[in-house]
Every structure is written in C-alpha cells, then in structure tokens.
Amino acid sequence: MSDLKLDVDQAGELKAAFRRTRGSGGKEWTSGYIKKLSEGNLLGSVLDVLDGRAKIVPNDITADKIDAIIRVDRTRTVYPRWIKKVMHPELDKFGPAEYDISIVERWFYDGQTRGGVMGHLIYDHLKKTGVLKYFLGLADLLVIQAKGSDFYRKYFAGEEVVGWKSAVWNLGINVPCLCGGENKVFLNWRSIDMCVFGLEHPALRFASERKFSGRTTDVGPGVLIYPESCLLRNDIGAERKCPLKRPYPS
C-alpha cells in the first residue's frame, strides 16, 4: 500500500488545476465531479494515461448527434444591464418559436462583396427596406451560444454571426455577434460605426422571409476586414469606449 502524503502545496496545486482546467464544451469542475473522481478506480485510469499505458479518446460527436432545432422563448429577451437603449424592442417577439438552423439563410449586404463595408450602411439598409424583423436577433443567438462549440463549428465554423435585429445604444449603436472558440462560443457586441463587416460576418435570415415580403435581397460573398478597435464589449466584461461618429434617431 502506498505511503503517499499530500502536503499543503500539492493540495493547492490540485485545487488550482480544478479551477483552471475545463472539459469538452467548457465544462467546469464541481464538487460532485471531484467526488466521482475519488470513487472507484477512475484515478487509476488517469495514472495509466500519465504512464503511457492508456490514452483518452473523446466520444465521436457525429452530425446525427447534434440537434439542429432551435427553440426560442420570445416572450422576454434579456439584454445586458450596460445597454442604454434597445433600438427595436417591438421586434423581439417576432419570429418562430422553433426552427431548423440548417435552413436559415445567410445574407450579405451588396457592399460586403467588395472588401467589406461599415456596419452602419448595412443597418441603415435593413431599416430602410423594412426587413430587420426577418433576421435573427439576440434571443436566437443566445440559444445558439448555449448549444456549444460543437454545434457552432458544424454550422458556422470560421464565421461571426451577427444579430442585426437586436441593435442597441451605448456610446453609439452596437449589434450582438457570436464567435466560436475552441471550447466555448462567445457573445460580443460590435459598434456599427467602427466595424467593417465582410464575408465572415453573415446575417442570418429566416428562410420564410420570402413568403412574408414577396421579394428577396441581393446576396453575395465578401471579404473580411476586422479592425481590433471595433470590439465594444464582450461577455467576459471587457469594455472599450467607442466614440460616437453620428447620431441615430430612435
């Protein structure tokens, strides 16, 4: 039987490791997981991995195992507290309660095909043509974010999805965007006066928009221009104050 002794420093290292490390999809350690780790011979298996006698093989997440259905509660969209004004609160309740993400259409403003355009041009176009309500908003993006990184990589790998319908005011107009990380999907807010939107910034439109409006909007590819200064605030709490370039009416 081992005469292993765990000193204070080693216990501290273990505690720090539990706080630092994450499982697949960003899963964090809990007291329950630590208890399970200490039961049975699970730690013996970890020792085999460390000694090279075994290896960890992740479960294969196939396309069939990823649920493509998005279910949205549109009765109340919760915006961050730092937001001063929601530009189009009347649009939050518009849209299906359930839909298949695989049939949602990507839409690009015509200028995105020629090196990217400033966000305010896209926003003004969507308002002028009256089609904002047919696009995904914050409520949709939060559900997509909750589905995790495997879902995001399958449908939006290399893209930053924009929720134009949920534009807000805080030191200028900002729109929510999703960005996929290795183990987590991040929600950012980007200034339409400081950001250039290109091919990697698609807007998502419900496929049934054609039935609602009786017309389609020109769709084309674009080129990404991604200035670092356009990030206003992210879900971690970092903030940059973006100067207001021009006022917008309510």
Q: Is the pTM of this model over 0.85?
A: no
β-strand pairing of 203-205 with 85-86: unpaired
Task: Check whether 234 has a pLDDT greater than 70.
Answer: no
CA distance 239 to 233: 4
Which two three-digit tokens encode residue 146?
């909750």
Render pLDDT for 112-159 as a digit per residue (tens, 0 to 9): 867 789 999 999 999 999 999 999 999 999 999 999 988 998 888 888
Render pLDDT for 61-99 as a digit per residue (tens, 0 to 9): 554 578 888 999 998 888 999 999 999 999 999 988 898
Q: How confident is the model at residue 230 (pLDDT cuts 50, 70, 90)?
A: very low
How much is the pLDDT for 51?
80
Residue 38, classed as helix, strand or coil, is helix
How much is the pLDDT for 169?
93
Spatial CB neighbours of 222, under 8 Å, sequence gap ≥ 6: 108, 111, 112, 113, 114, 115, 116, 197, 198, 199, 201
